[in-house]
Amino acid sequence: MALDKSFVDNSSWKPDLFKGKVVFVTGGAGSICRIQTEAMVLLGADAAIIGRNVQKTENAAKEIQQLRPGSKVIGLGNVDVRDVNSIAKSVEKTVEELGRIDFVIAGAAGNFLSDFNHLSSNAFKSVVSIDLLGSFNTVKACFDQLRKNKGAIIFVSATLHYYGVPFQSHVGAAKAGVDALSNALAVELGPIGIRSNCIAPGMIEGTEGMSRLTPPGATPFDKKVPLQRLGSGKDIAEATVYLFSPAADYVTGTIQVVDGGVWHIGSFMGDLYPNIIIQQNLDEVSKL
């Protein structure tokens, strides 16, 4: 699902739209945030991508840098978004090497399928810490640069908390917090020139989330989407570019849902619910 130069050739956006700007991306080696970074770099920005896995992060940075001649993309691994000091060091390194930070994408996240009965307190805390606390820490560490450059923030959210989604209570709770954080920052930071918005991806083809979270035996998802297709990386890229572009200078405190309209019709696990949950709990009782 990676982007290439055709994104610019076939785009409505100017090729040098973000020339001289720098984007700081947590989770930048992952599928969604990598696509966002690729779009920004193709349109003129330099980038720093932040991750836990050193090799994966550095390799991704090298590959992204090759998308545009003259671009500079650095990969900073061994960073834990749950530790604000760890991110702060990455911010210092980014400013040292790239000169500034104009845009922040807070996208580091953790997820897995688990019903409430089998979800431990530690597992719940871990996801909330990565998704929500990690988002807070990312903006906290970048705040001085954002204030100095009148920058903009995009939080990567989800639609899981718009309705009850089984097996996703931990992530739904975390992403609801991310939305609330973004809304509060839009109000608090707007007077000093900083914009804050969310992108809430739906079912995006080729992502880690789709491969790991697809329930066995489910009906093909594209048939459940009002637009009758899964989302693509380009759909996320276009939303990202818009929210960071001058076209969105008066847009803050919004949640840009990119899901083909699925959130209007409820959980995509409908054909598995409630039988799979009932069966799991009956299995537990039979073992007693």
DSSP string, 199-242: EEE--BTT-HHHHHHPPTTPPPGGGGSTTSS-B-HHHHHHHHHH
What is the residue extent of each domain of the chain?
Answer: 6-286
How is residue 78 annotated by DSSP?
S
152-179 pLDDT, tens digit per residue, is 999 999 999 998 888 999 999 999 999 9
Burial per residue of 75-108, b for 16 or more beta-carbon CB atoms within 10 angstroms, e otherwise: bbbebbbeeeebbbebbeebbeebeebbbbbbbb
pLDDT at 283: 59
| Global model pTM greater than 0.75 | yes
194 has pLDDT over 90: yes
Give kind and range of the element (H or E) at residue 103: strand 103-106
> Which of 80-89, 257-266, 278-287 comes out lowest in average pLDDT?
278-287
Distance of alpha carbon 147 from alpha carbon 18, whole angstroms: 18
pLDDT at 223: 76
Q: In CATH, what number does 6-286 get? A: 3.40.50.720
104 has pLDDT over 90: yes
Contact 59, 122 (CB under 8 A): no
233 has pLDDT over 60: yes
264-276 pLDDT, tens digit per residue, is 887 655 566 667 6
Catalytic residues, by residue number, are: 157, 175
pLDDT at 133: 98
Cβ atoms within 10 Å of 44's Cβ, excluding its own: 19
Q: List, in sequence order, every beta strand (DSSP E) within 6-70.
A: 22-26, 46-50
Token pair listed for 254: 């919004």
15-42 pLDDT, tens digit per residue, is 999 999 999 999 999 999 999 999 999 9
By CB atoms closer than 10 A (0-12, 13-18, 19+), residue 197 is buried
pLDDT at 274: 64
How is residue 106 annotated by DSSP?
E
